[in-house]
Each structure stands twice: as C-alpha cells, then as structure tokens.
Structure 1
Amino acid sequence: MSTNTRDVVFPSGRRALYERNRYSPAIRSNGFLFVSGQVGSREDGSPEPDLEAQVRGAFTNLNAILSEAGCSFDEVIDVTVFMVDPDSTFETIWKVVPEFWGNAPHPTLTAVGVTWLYGFQFEIKVIAKLPDVA
C-alpha cells in the first residue's frame, strides 16, 4: 500500500491562518495546483468590509499562493467563484475581475450564488497547470 503525501503550498505569512482552520491553502498533484477558496480578508482574518476591496484582496491572496507555487494566473485553467446575493453583488464583483483575469483565452468558470461565506461576500478557488520543470 502506498502512502499519499500531500505536497502543500503555503503563502508566506499566512501559515498560522491555515493551521488554525485545519486545511491546506493549495496542493500540488500530478502537474496541477489545486487552490482552496480564497477570500479578501484583513491581516487578522476578518472580512474586508468594502466589496471591491474584498474581491481585490481575494485575488491578491490567490496570486500569493500561485506565486509561491511558481506560477501565475496565466496558468489557471478552471475557476469557481462563490458570491453571496449575486443579484446585488455581481456587477460590483465583475468590474474588478478584469484587473486580474488577463487576456483571452480565459479559464473556464463556474459561478455559484450562496447564502453564507463566513462573513465574506466573494470567494475564488482555482485549478492551475504547474509549469513544466526541466
């Protein structure tokens, strides 16, 4: 029987947050990076109250993990976003997204409306293709 060791990626300065909440920020597996949902939290982990700033913070946290793994949003192939009350938040969220999304072709996207995100209004999780290592 083989043992499956998870190759965890921790962004700098946030390890305690993940250890406290008992999950991995990202895992490398078979040439891919699977990133846990990222939110726009302040240093203490509380939600950024301004929605645009919260979305930017989520992308900033996501980009820190991608960078730590040696890739960028350009390598993202699949995105899932969660939005509380998308009827009232979608337009605000989607005017921030192009700042981080890059040029076409864009990754695949699944957008899900939810009723609760632990005090947040937006969360993003992704799967990225890791660069080939020589």
Structure 2
Amino acid sequence: MTQRTAIFPPNRHALYEAHGYSAAVRSGDLLFVSGQVGSRADGTPEPDFQAQVKLAFTNLAAVLGAAGCTFEDVLDVTTFHTDPQKQFETIMPVKQQLFGEKPYPTWTAVGVTWLAGFDFEIKVIARMPATT
C-alpha cells in the first residue's frame, strides 16, 4: 500500500480543518492538490473576479511550494468556472503567465453552477521533483 502524506501551506490550516480535507496529498512521486479558490485570509471569496483568479493561483503556488514543487512540476490541471464563456478572457492571461512554456500540462475546464460563493477553482496533479 502506498503511503499518503498530507501537505499544508503555512497559514491556511484552519480552512482545511473546517472542511475536513488536505490541501494536497503526496503519494509516491505524485502530488494531488485539492481545488484552490480565491479566498481571502478569512476564507471569504475575493469579490473582484480578476483578483479572485490571481488569488486562486497564488494559493495554488503556496500549496505547491509547501510540497517543494513549482508550476513546472504540474502535469494535469482541472478548472471549474461558473460562467466559462465570460470568464476565459480573464483567466487565460493568468494561466499563460504561469504555464507559458511548452509542453503545457493537460487541462480540463468544467462549467459548474456552484462553487460555494466562488467563481473559479483550480486543482492540479504534479510530479514531485527528484531529490539529489
């Protein structure tokens, strides 16, 4: 049986504890990151959509960093959108800035009707970098 190790970024433990899940789980050389949203320090949604998207990516970077990963280690991306047609224009420049070089990770975008008050969520799978 492969062992699972929970990963948490600094200063975000209360959010995960309140809802009973790990920010990320390492299993072997893979890192499975829970969906990250544009939550402010108190856990509420950032009301400005562009700022919410940037904050979701910032929160994702914190989780990846806590595991010793970067965006270059990301293999698979799943994003959730409450209004994809209207939101892609805002999301794509942020995504391209972080995943700008080929080969790109795989990406699945899903339109949803509810994200607990948020309008964008991103989850990823990454490969842990080899240690020397």
Normalised TM-score (structure 2): 0.94
Among 96, 121, 124, the alignment partner of 2:122 is: 124
Regions of 4+ moved over 4 Å: none
Unaligned runs of 5+ in 2: none
TM-score of the aligned structures, taking structure 1 as reference length: 0.93
SS of the residue aligned with 2:65? helix
Q: In structure 1, give the amino acid aligned to 2:81.
A: M
Q: After the TM superposition, which of the residue ranges 93-102 and 63-72 deviates more from structure 2?
A: 93-102
2:55 to 54, 57, 72: 57
Equivalents in 2 of 1:17, 1:110: separation in Å?
Answer: 25
Identity between Structure 1 and Structure 2 (%): 58
Distance change >3 Å, CA 31–CA 5, structure 1 → 2: closer
Q: How many residues align?
A: 132
For the 8 Å contact 1:84–1:114, the answer to whether it is kept is: yes
Q: Distance in 2 between matches of 1:5 and 1:97?
A: 32
What 5-or-longer segments of structure 1 have no aligned partner? none
Q: Distance in 1 between matches of 2:106 and 2:3?
A: 28
User: How is 1:36-55 mapped onto 2 (pairs within 5 angstroms)?
Assistant: 36-55=34-53
